[in-house]
Amino acid sequence: MKTPMLGPVLAVLVATSIALSAAEPSKVDFIVSPQKSRNGDLIFIEEVLASSPKFAPGEKVTVRGRYEVKSVDEAKLCLFLAQSVGSTNQPMSRSQAIEIKKGSGKFELSEQIKHSGAFHVSLYRPDGTAIATVYFGKKAQVEKASRRKLE
């Protein structure tokens, strides 16, 4: 009785394993913009993980950090990808936003990159007004985006 050739099967398994591990998020280098804040509310980006350091469409980005909310009792902390061209009306996933209370805490937010742009984590009042924003990513992305005013 002949046994099937294991070589091709193992090659496929190894290739699949390598492809899957390449897509696993890992720490990437990033810079942050100066804080834009009203009334002393702050966001600190401590770690960024991505499926690739390119921050290209199709990749997943996870950001971890801390916040300090002083000016409101409740707020929403969100991860967004700003874009200068085209529609910004994209559906938000559950992993992109968390409800928080006055005080300090830690966060982890994730987003699938749908277009080129600059990432920012922002705090919003219940009425949707931004009260703090910090941009992060590659130097060129952050420099361009951080010129925007807090809306």
**CATH code of the domain containing 70:** 2.60.40
Task: Collect all residues with Cβ–Cβ distance below 8 Å to 50 and sequence separation of at least 6.
Answer: 25, 26, 28, 59, 60, 61, 62
User: Which pLDDT does position 116 carry in this prediction?
Assistant: 83
Q: Is residue 56, in this structure, part of any structural domain at all?
A: yes
Burial of 112 (0-12, 13-18, 19+ CB in 10 A): middle
pLDDT of residue 131 exceeding 60: yes
Structure tokens at 81: 């990808």
User: Which pLDDT does position 118 carry in this prediction?
Assistant: 86
pLDDT of residue 37 exceeding 80: yes
Domain span at 127: 25-145
Burial of 143 (0-12, 13-18, 19+ CB in 10 A): middle
Residue labelled with tokens 């980006």 = 45
Q: Is residue 9, in this structure, part of any structural domain at all?
A: no
The two beta strands, 130-137 and 36-37, are antiparallel
> Pick the residue with more confidence: 2 or 24?
24
Q: Is residue 17, in this structure, part of any structural domain at all?
A: no
pLDDT digits (tens, 9 = 90+) for 63-105: 999 999 999 999 999 999 987 665 556 677 899 999 999 999 9
Q: Is residue 5, in this structure, part of any structural domain at all?
A: no
Q: How many domains does the chain have?
A: 1
Q: How confident is the model at residue 10 (pLDDT cuts 50, 70, 90)?
A: very low
> Mean pLDDT for the chain?
83
User: Which pLDDT does position 9 carry in this prediction?
Assistant: 46
Q: Is residue 90, in this structure, part of any structural domain at all?
A: yes
d(CA 143, CA 32): 9
